[in-house]
Amino acid sequence: MPEILSQPATLRVKLHGQGVRHIELTLETLTIGRKADNTLVIEDPAVSGHHARIVKVQAVFFLEDLKSTNGTAINGMPITRHQLRDADVITIGQHRLVFQENATSNTAAPAPFVDLDRTTVLRGTDRTPDGPTLTAKVLVVAGKTDRLEYPLTKHVNVIGSQDGAAIRLTGWFAPKLAATIARRGHSYSISSSKGAKSLLVNGTNVMGQQDLKDGDQIEVAGVKLTFSLLSGTKNTSR
């Protein structure tokens, strides 16, 4: 399985009349417009030659409108220059771009994608004062652990027998650190560790790191887990 490491943020691009594609935001600047010298070219007379750009400043991203004729909006709000947060929808005319943040810990707590109905169902301890609302948990299918269900509240959730492990393995020979599930913004990824002989996700060996999606089956150090993503903001295929 190819190693997918610290993924940069991505843009989910849905141009009017075309299918969906994803662009990785690896460059410091990504320009958007009608002219061919842009990184993302949109052939639409309603889009200005140099319409907007996305710039990366250290660990955060900004969208800037380049004095376009018809303007640029984020979540329906017209902007000149605005910080991008996970799941923000950028509108340029009839074209939609969704910013998906995978970068590690943003400084400002991301504008919480809180669905108030869902929040009231969560237990009090799930809501951490300085992190996003609980968006994922792990369910134990088989193996020796101290609980059957674990909310993923931390930046780094350790699967192992060590003190402080988020998912505590209780088997006799369980390694102190078998694997870790890390949260970046609203995305989660699992990383293998030298503590465990192998890490399988949906039956395939993972060397290094792999993003997790809702329903993924994890097998490591003699336990089987199901990863469950509670947030409703992930793409669903239509």
Partner 1 sequence: MADPSLGLYVVCDGMGGGNAGEIASTLAVEAIQAHLAEAVRHADLPLIGPFNATVSVPANRLASAIRAANEVVHRESWSRPDYAGMGTTVVAALLHEEVLAIAHVGDSRFYLVRNGTIQALTTDHSWVAEQILKGLITQEEAECSPRRNIVTKALGVESSVDVELTEVPVKSGDMLLLCSDGLTRGVHPNDILHILSGSEDLPAMSDRLIVMANEAGGDDNTTVVIVSLRDELQAGLWERLKKQFVA
Distance of CA 218 to the CA centre of its chain: 18
Confirm or reject binding of residue 59 to partner 1 (CB under 8 A).
yes
Confirm or reject binding of residue 211 to partner 1 (CB under 8 A).
no
Which H helix or E strand runs over 170? none
Confirm or reject binding of residue 69 to partner 1 (CB under 8 A).
no
Nearest distance from C-beta of residue 57 to partner 1, angstroms: 5
Confirm or reject binding of residue 6 to partner 1 (CB under 8 A).
yes
Confirm or reject binding of residue 147 to partner 1 (CB under 8 A).
no
Q: What are phi and psi of 115, to 5 degrees?
A: -95, 115
User: What is the C-alpha to C-alpha distance for residues 67 and 52, in angstroms, rounded to an integer?
Assistant: 8
Site string (160-189) toward partner 1, x via CB under 8 A: --xxx-----------xx--x-x-------
DSSP string, 66-130: -S-SS-EEETTEEESEEE--TT-EEEETTEEEEEE--SS--SSPP-----HHHHHHS-GGGS-TT
Nearest distance from C-beta of residue 175 to partner 1, angstroms: 10
Confirm or reject binding of residue 80 to partner 1 (CB under 8 A).
yes
Reduce the DSSP state of residue 236 to 3 states and report it. Answer: coil
Site string (84-123) toward partner 1, x via CB under 8 A: -------------------xxxxxx---------------
Angle CA(150)–CA(188)–CA(169) in degrees, nearest 5? 35
Are 138 and 153 contacting, i.e. CB atoms less than 8 angstroms apart?
A: no
Q: Which residues bind partner 1 (CB under 8 A)?
A: 3, 5-6, 8, 26, 55, 57-60, 62, 64, 79-83, 103-108, 128, 130-131, 153-156, 158, 162-164, 176-177, 180, 182, 191, 193-195, 208-209
